[in-house]
């Protein structure tokens, strides 16, 4: 009886995961406006974001926790250099913790490593000589 339930549960899980793989990527491009999106597309993106958030969020949380610890060590071993410690803390603790449908559609960037805030608020865009404006990612 136990093997029957194990087979049934594993079959349901495999079918559910396989259904997520057949969600067309083009749905996100075709229906850029959320109000015009089909219910199936919204469900698929929501389900995919949940299933992707679980391993990603756990690894990000672990990385941020270790960054907090090592940032503390950096503060202690650098004789109280707060600038060095905050560089470690900003890089490890800032960034994206939860994958949302906006991330999957490409509307928002996924940042595993946080970007420390600059004093002037500008950085150079890749391949450009002009500074690009900093767009901070809200902490979640």
Q: What's the confidence (pLDDT) of residue 18?
A: 60
Q: What is the mean pLDDT of the chain?
A: 76
Distance, in Å, from the CA atom of 87 to the CA atom of 43, rounded to the nearest integer, reads 39
Q: What are the structural domain ranges in the chain? A: 42-114
Distance, in Å, from the CA atom of 137 to the CA atom of 5, rounded to the nearest integer, reads 44
State if pTM tops 0.75: no
pLDDT band at 70 (very low <50, low <70, confident <90, very high): very high
Handedness of CA 21, 24, 29, 30 (dihedral sign): negative
Which residue shows structure tokens 């996924």? 110
Position 33 pLDDT exceeds 60: no
Which residue shows structure tokens 């949380």? 61
pLDDT band at 120 (very low <50, low <70, confident <90, very high): very low
Position 62 pLDDT exceeds 90: yes
């Amino acid at each position: 009886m136990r093997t029957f339930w194990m087979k049934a549960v594993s079959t349901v899980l495999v079918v559910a995961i396989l259904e997520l793989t057949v969600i067309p990527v083009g749905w996100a491009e075709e229906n850029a406006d959320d109000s015009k999106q089909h219910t199936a597309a919204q469900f698929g993106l929501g389900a995919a974001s949940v299933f992707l958030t679980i391993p990603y969020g756990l690894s990000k949380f672990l990385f941020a926790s270790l960054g907090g610890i090592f940032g503390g060590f950096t503060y202690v071993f650098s004789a109280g250099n707060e600038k060095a410690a905050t560089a470690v803390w900003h890089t490890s603790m800032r960034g994206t913790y939860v994958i949302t449908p906006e991330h999957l559609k490409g509307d928002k960037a996924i940042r595993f490593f946080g970007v420390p805030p600059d004093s002037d608020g500008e950085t150079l865009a890749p391949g450009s000589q002009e500074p690009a404006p900093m767009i901070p990612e809200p902490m979640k």
